[in-house]
Copies of this chain bind each other. A is one copy, B any other.
Amino acid sequence: MTDLIPVISGLSKKTDSKIVLVVLDGVGGLPMSPGGPTELEAAKTPFLDALAAQSQLGQLELVGPGITPGSGPGHLSLFGYDPLTYTVGRGALSAVGIGVKLNAGDVAVRGNFATLGEGRTVLDRRAGRPTTEKNEEIVAKLRAAIHEIDSTPVEIYTESEHRFVVVFRAGSTPLGAHISDVDPQVTGVPPRDAQAGDEASQKTANLVNEFVKRAEATLSAEPQVNGVLFRGYSDVPHFPQFSDVYKLSAACIAGYPMYKGLASLVGMNVLDVDSVEDAPEGKLDALRREWDNYDFFFFHVKKTDSTGEDGNFDAKVGKIELFDSVLPQILDLNPDVLCVVGDHSTPSRLASHSWHPVPVLIHSKYGRSDAAERFTETEAVKGSLGLRPGTALMPLLMANALKLEKYGA
C-alpha cells in the first residue's frame, strides 16, 4: 500500500464537523454451515438496517489479502496507518493500555501466568485463567521479590486474568527488543530460553531469562500460578499523531486496555469510561458527556469479538443486536460522519480471528447511494465503496466530513 499519511497530513484541515468511528471488534463472520447465515445476517438489527439503506457500504481488508489481522494491526489500519509499515509490539500496547508511560529505550514485555509441572513442563499456558484479583496478588509477590535485575529497574503490572506486563527501564543505553519467545505456544514442554536476535537485545534477553528464574522461585509454592511465559517484546514506537495527520481532536471510548493503549499511541485522548463487562451505557455516557470537546470519537465494542473467539454464534448475534439497540443513541447526537466497521473478522465457525474482509458502512450527507441494504458481509459486496485496504477508511471519513483540501490545482 502507498503510505497516505504524508499526503493526508498535507491536505487535512480543522473544521467543526464531527466523526464517529464505531469499531465492532471482530464483527465479520461466516455461516456455521454452508448456505446458513453469518452472525450479522442472523442478527435482528432494525436500526443498522435503516442506516445501511441510507449509507455507502463496502469491504475493508485490514492488512492484506489472506492475512488475518491481530487486534493491533487491525486497528492501526482503521486509523490510517499501514500495519505493514507502522508496527507496534503487544507489550508496548499493553503497557500503554494500563496507563504505564514508556520512555525511549525501555522495553515492555507481555507475559502470561502459566502452570508448570514436573521438570518445568508447561501444563496450562494460562494458569487456569486466574481471576484478575488473583493476578494482582501474584503480581504483588513478584514486585516484592524483583525490583531490579543487574541494576536495571523492573516494573511488573497486572493486565487482566492470566496476563501481565513487565517493563525493563533502560538507563543511558537503550534496550533492544529483538528477542525470541519464552512461551513455547504448546503444552508438554518447558518454557524456552529467550535468545537475542541482535547485539542490542543481548542484555534484554539476559534480563528476561533471569526474570523467569526468579519468578519461578518466588511462585514455587503456588499450586497453579507457578510460572511465567513471555511473548511480545517491544520497544517504544512513535506514530505520527492524529492531531498532526488529521488535525483532529480525537477521543477514545473503550473498555479494554489494549484498545486504549493503541488509541493513546496515535494521539487520542483516552476518556474515562465506566464500562463493566463492555456494557454500552458507560460508553454512551462518555460520548454524550464529551460530545462538544472533540471532533473525532473512536467507539470500541469488544464483545462481538470475544463471543466469536468463544465460537458462540448465538452469543455473537446477541452482542450485535445489543449494539443495534443502542445505535439510535449515537444517531441522536447527529454526527456529520458515522462509520460502523470491524477491525477484522472473528467467525464463530473458526473461533478465531480470520482473514475475511470486514463490512464497512459510512453515513454522511455527501455519500452516494448504493445497492447494499443491510450491514452484512454479503450486502457489503454490492456497496459503492468497493473492496479496499483498511488504510483507505480515514481518508474517506475525512473527505465525507469535508476536512480535506483538494490535491493539486
Contacts and interface: CB of A to CB of B under 8 A. Distances in A.
Interface in A39-93: 54, 59, 63-73, 83-84, 87, 89-90, 93
A322 interface: no
Interface string A225-236: 000000010000
B409 A66 contact: no
A409 B64 contact: no
B4 A397 contact: no
A35 interface: yes
A404 B370 contact: no
Interface stretch (A191-199, A270-278, A383-391): A383-391
A382 interface: yes
Is the interface on chain A under 10, 10 to 19, 20 to 34, or 35 or more residues? 35 or more
B38 A368 contact: yes
A298 interface: no
B1 A396 contact: no
A407 B11 contact: no
A163 to B, nearest CB: 11
A366 B54 contact: no
Nearest to A64: B4
Contact of A59 (B7, B369, B386): B386
A368 B394 CA distance: 26
Contact of A368 (B356, B385, B399, B408): B356
Interface stretch (A116-124, A137-145, A147-155, A347-355): A347-355
A30 interface: yes
Nearest to A35: B369
Nearest to A383: B381
B381 A72 contact: no
A404 B54 contact: no
Contacts of A257: none
10 contacts: A4-B65, A30-B366, A66-B396, A67-B395, A71-B409, A352-B406, A353-B406, A355-B395, A355-B396, A385-B387
Given A63-B407, A354-B366, 6 more contacts: A63-B408, A66-B395, A66-B404, A68-B404, A72-B408, A83-B408
